[in-house]
Amino acid sequence: MIDNKQPSVLASLDWWTIGIYLALLIFGWVSVCGASYNYGDNEIFSLGARSGMQIIWIGTSIALGLVILLLDDRFYDTFSYVIYGVLILLLFATIFNPHSIKGSHSWLVLGPLRLQPAEFGKFATALAVAKFMSSYGFSMQNLKHFMAAVGIIVLPMLCIVGQRETGSALVYLSFFLMLYREGMPGAILFTGVSMVAYFVVGVKYENVMMWDTYTSVGKFVVLLLVQIFTAGMVNSYTGDRKQALMILAYSVGITLLFVLFSTYVIPFDIVWIQLFLCAMLIGFLVYQGLRTRFRNYFLISIFSLGSIAFFYSADYVLNHVMEPHQRVRINVLLGLDEDLAGAGYNVHQSEIAIGSGGLQGKGFLNGTQTKLKFVPEQDTDFIFCTVGEEEGFLGSAGVLLLFLALILRLMHLAERQPYKFGRIYGYCVLSVFLFHLFINVGMVLGLTPVIGIPLPFFSYGGSSLWGFTILLFIFLRIDAGRNLVRS
The yes-or-no verdict on residue 304 having pLDDT over 80 is: yes
Q: What share of the chain is helix, strand, coil (3-state, %, to 5)?
A: 70, 0, 30
Please give the pLDDT value at position 240: 87
Q: 168 vs 104, 117, 189, CA distance in Å? A: 11, 10, 20
Question: What confidence tens digit (pLDDT) does each residue in 287-298 have?
Answer: 999 998 888 899
- Phi then psi for residue 139, to 5 deg, are -140, 130
Higher-confidence residue of 372 and 252: namely: 252
CA–CA separation, 387 vs 459, rounded Å? 11
Higher-pLDDT residue of 231 and 338 is 231
Residue 410 has pLDDT above 90, yes or no: yes
**For 115, which DSSP code?**
E
d(CA 27, CA 410) in angstroms, rounded, equals 20
Mean pLDDT for the stretch of residues 101-116 = 72
pLDDT tens digits, 351-361: 888 888 888 88
Residue 48 has pLDDT above 80, yes or no: no
- Is residue 84 a contact partner of residue 124, using CB atoms and an 8 Å limit? yes
Of 363, 356, 441, whose CA–CA distance to 395 is shortest? 363
Percent above pLDDT 90 for the chain: 48
pLDDT higher than threshold 80 for residue 60: yes
The pLDDT of residue 485 is above 60: no
pLDDT over 70 (residue 336):
no
- What does the alpha-carbon distance between residue 202 and residue 315 come to, in Å, rounded to a whole number? 8
pLDDT of residue 152: 96
pLDDT of residue 86: 95
Rounded to two decimals, what is the model's pTM? 0.86
Average pLDDT over residues 42-48: 73
Q: What is the DSSP string of 85-108?
A: HHHHHHHHHHHT-S--BTTB---E
Whether the per-residue pLDDT at 337 is higher than 70: the answer is no
Q: Compute the distance between CA of residue 18 and CA of residue 272 in angstroms, rounded to an integer.
A: 59
3-state SS, residue 344: coil
pLDDT band (50, 70, 90) for residue 98? low
Name the strand (E) or helix (H) holding 21. Answer: helix 15-36
Per-residue confidence at 4, pLDDT binned at 50, 70, 90? low
Proportion of the chain above pLDDT 70, given as a percent? 91
Q: Is the pLDDT of residue 219 over 60?
A: yes
Q: Which of 103, 100, 94, 118 is nearest to 169 (CA)?
A: 118
- Asked if pLDDT for residue 324 goes beyond 90, the answer is no
Across the chain, what does the average pLDDT equal? Answer: 86
114 sits in which H/E element: strand 113-115
Residue 478: pLDDT band with limits 50, 70, 90: very high
Q: For residues 423-447, give the mean pLDDT.
A: 92
Residue that wins the pLDDT comparison between 447 and 158: 158
pLDDT at 325: 67
Over residues 248-287, the pLDDT tens digits come to: 999 999 999 998 888 888 888 899 999 999 999 999 999 9
Convert the pLDDT of each residue in 71-93 to its tens digit: 988 899 999 999 999 999 999 98
